[in-house]
Structure 1
Amino acid sequence: MKTFKFPARHGYAVEISPFIPSRLACATSQYYGIAGSGTLLVLEQTETGISLVKSFDWNDGLFDVTWSESNEHMLVTGGGDGSLQVWDTANPQPGPLQVLKEHTQEVYSVDWSQTREENLVVSGSWDRTAKVWDLSHGGQSLCTLQGHEGVIYSTLWSPHIPGCFASASGDGTLRVWDVKTGRCRLAIPAHKAEILSCDWCKYDQNVIVTGAVDCHSYAIRRVKFSPFNQTVLASCSYDFTVRLWTTPGQSSRCWRTLEHHSEFVCGLDFNLHIPNQIPSRSVDTEHTHSRI
């Protein structure tokens, strides 16, 4: 296991670059995201450890990050001031290339589309709306989708269906949206509690996993399907752990628990290039790389 610590910043999200196997980005905040500023960390994994490549500061907390699927230098983060920030790691200037400000409350989720037919970003906010953005068309969103009765914690594009994304909310529902029509295609009362995360199965377009504040000792903060094994998914939790699960079918069970953090674990990803490698990010200010 490799560890990187950045003082005075608490981690909320981590994502591996789709282009460079050793590179990852972390969205962080001061004071547990309650107050203060935020920092986007771009890190590099080496044989001996994890090093800082570049950092970008923002005047409010950063809660999520997503890499571009078409440009290895581009990233988007979501901030506590209701804005999205567009960053270029090759830009010598310290500030963002663009700031997209339409949400009226915290942006808790951002995701870059994975299908070849489009190049879009979706954002989910505490203002109960999801917005879709095309960064090549100026600073205005393409559309705003409403329907949730609670905070939106997670928005994820389908890796299979163009123009389709899922959202998870504090109202206990999972919704599937069609951007072309601007409507909700499916609303599922998935939990009787707040849903904090969702993810699409990489092998079956009809399967989505959700993580909520129920059915566990502490809230599940993020869930991810493995890109290499259709029967494996990972979760991280406020109980300080990362857990590996088998998906429903023959039996659903936790088959491994990683206990290397000392605080809430909020960020989690699978390395798309290296099988069995999972980066995680905690509010204990540590970033770790684990092997499973």
Structure 2
Amino acid sequence: MDDQPSHFQKTLIKQYPARTAAETAESRYWRRFRAPDVSQQVGAVTSIDFSPLYPYNYAVTSSTRVIIFDARNRHPLTTLSRFKDKAYSGTFRSDGRLLVAGGETGHVQVFDPQKQTLLRQLRGHQRPVHTTRFAPDKMHVLSGSDDATVRWWDITAGEQLFRLDGHTDYIRSSACSPSSPDTWATGSYDHTCKVWDVRSQQCTMTLEHGAPVEATAFLPGGSLLATAGGTEIRIWNLLAGGQLLARMANHQKTVTSLCSANSAGPAATSAPRLLSGSLDGHVKVYELDSFKVTHATKYPGPILSVAISPNAALLAVGLADGHLYVRRHTHNKGAVPGLPGAPTKVRTPFQRRLTAANYRYFMRGGNEKAAPGDVRVQPPDQKKLAPYDQMLRRFEYRAALDAALKTEQVEVVANVLEELAARSGLGAALGGRDAQQLVPLLAHLQKHIVDPRHANLFIGILNRVLDAYGPALGVSEDVDMKIRQVREQVKLEAKLQSTLLRLQGSLEPILAVALAARMPAVEE
């Protein structure tokens, strides 16, 4: 017989639709954040803020302290513990030299993180202060409190310049527009987000969110504002007078945190993203063209805070149980050109000239794809047969079935069985087996006999096996055990199908009545 397999047609393996969607470039980008560094804080991590200055250290607010971590090794650098009760909203100034935080006592405190000294203690709020932010001019601080007031402070003089009234419930979030340093947004439990002009000390816009507002964030450019409350995130167009652009209800529980990533995604520096954290334990990433979720990550507890570094190299997530998760991206490193602390010149890596002395010279073009109009030259047809195809070619049907079973791929076994049936070789393949050869076949049938794609085929095979080896039952304990397991699997599937049929019969009248009630009455 000719040893060349060119005249033999390989067994065609059926292709079924993928059970899961193909991974996108966006998913691959976010999956490149490495396994997290996990640290346990003394209390719930209510706030995380990255310094705008390279190396982008981050401040973590937990219980009665604010801890500043080194972004390069994730080790704590400084601990600020000058709080009599819980601390809230520790945030950096735009130059990274000062830090401001609120607290349960109602005081707003300004620190020098490097010297660990308290520079200012601003008093005026009557209730806890949950949000504090430095103004872009570095000389002023905005704070929002549970006393429903927003206050504007001069840190040089250490006194309050004015206060903004308008909210009627707790104020829990604030944000400054990146395009206008005089435009601020504050979110409150009165279900509104108010936009303020600190020059006129007036509220210029009130946005009705419809639920207690937990977080606010301006999107890059400053024309769009995101608010989070309840299970929804809403996007507002401020240039159009507060027009509602999108409502995103992708979380199952309250959304607690929002942050904007200016240079994240597969097309870095040109594809900003919005990140949200929720009490359902998910961090979700939204692209800002159609406001769709592009990636989601699950954490083992309710999330209170989410932040990403300016260079999108570190992603920090704080949980209600005190765990802090910090992930580092495998590619995004170093300073971002144009941000404070970044080098003025970007050093380009050295590239070796490609010549015939390099191995890559002879491999060039191997990854190129043909254009639609290119002429394709097909390579010589060199078929490499699988072991089961080699056995089928030599008409060794029992060995072909054994080789297919060794692959443990249900599609391969099913197609080999169909090929054997077409050749009238099932009797030779199934017969004459001892206990050691029969057990793998029975194990495969037990595992896949309830698969709806192959159930008809495998039930027929099982019937033939029982007809052939029924008189020999009781000889091998292993074979008897496999037969019992197959029987239990079939009984369980039959019971499940019976339950589903009864459930379907119960639901059909209910669905019919509901459908009839929704149909409009026909006018005679």
User: What is the TM-score of this pair, normalised by structure 1?
Assistant: 0.86
The amino acid of 1:271's aligned partner reads S
The amino acid of 1:131's aligned partner reads R
Q: Does 1:3 align with 2:27?
A: no
CA distance in 1, matches of 2:36, 2:284: 18
Equivalent in 86, 91, 107 of residue 66 of structure 1: 91
* Conserved? CA contact 2:80–2:113, under 8 Å: no
Q: Which runs of 5+ in 1 are unaligned?
A: 30-37
Change beyond 3 A, Cα 1:83–1:122: same
The amino acid of 2:224's aligned partner reads V
Q: Does 1:185 align with 2:204?
A: yes
Deviation, 1:54, is 1.3
Q: Within 5 A, what are the aligned runs for 1:93-104?
A: 93=117, 96-104=118-126
Aligned residue for 2:492?
Answer: none
Q: Which runs of 5+ in 2 are unaligned?
A: 1-34, 233-250, 264-269, 330-524
More strand as a share of residues: 1
Residues 121-155 of structure 1 deviation map (CA, whole Å, 9 limit, x = unaligned): 111111111111121122x2111001012211111
* Conserved? CA contact 1:4–1:50, under 8 Å: no
* Conserved? CA contact 1:4–1:51, under 8 Å: no
Equivalent in 211, 229, 232 of residue 212 of structure 1: 229
* Structure with the greater alpha carbon radius of gyration: 2
Deviation, 1:107, is 0.7
Equivalent in 101, 108, 112 of residue 134 of structure 2: 112
Equivalent in 246, 250, 258 of residue 223 of structure 1: 258
Q: Within 5 A, what are the aligned runs for 1:127-138?
A: 127-138=147-158
Change beyond 3 A, Cα 1:207–1:90: same
Aligned residue for 1:194?
Answer: 212
Aligned residue for 1:285?
Answer: 322
* Conserved? CA contact 1:236–1:266, under 8 Å: yes
SS, match of residue 97 in structure 1: strand
Deviation, 1:213, is 1.0
Change beyond 3 A, Cα 1:62–1:252: same
Aligned residue for 1:32?
Answer: none
Equivalent in 242, 250, 256 of residue 283 of structure 2: 242
The amino acid of 2:121's aligned partner reads V
Aligned residues with identical type, % of pairs: 21
Residues 11-56 of structure 1 deviation map (CA, whole Å, 9 limit, x = unaligned): 1001111113241101111xxxxxxxx111011133xx42111112
More helix as a share of residues: 2
Deviation, 1:182, is 0.9
* Conserved? CA contact 2:148–2:165, under 8 Å: yes
Aligned residue for 1:43?
Answer: 69
Deviation, 1:3, is 2.1
* Conserved? CA contact 1:81–1:105, under 8 Å: yes
Deviation, 1:158, is 1.2
Aligned residue for 1:34?
Answer: none
CA distance in 2, matches of 1:7, 1:121: 27
Deviation, 1:164, is 1.5
The amino acid of 2:297's aligned partner reads L
Deviation, 1:264, is 2.1
CA distance in 1, matches of 2:272, 2:69: 29
Residues 147-184 of structure 1 deviation map (CA, whole Å, 9 limit, x = unaligned): 01221111111111122100111111111101111110
Aligned residues: 270
Change beyond 3 A, Cα 1:182–1:148: same
Q: Does 1:257 align with 2:296?
A: yes
Residues 245-284 of structure 1 deviation map (CA, whole Å, 9 limit, x = unaligned): 123x4x3322211123x33211222211x23532222222
CA distance in 2, matches of 1:50, 1:276: 12
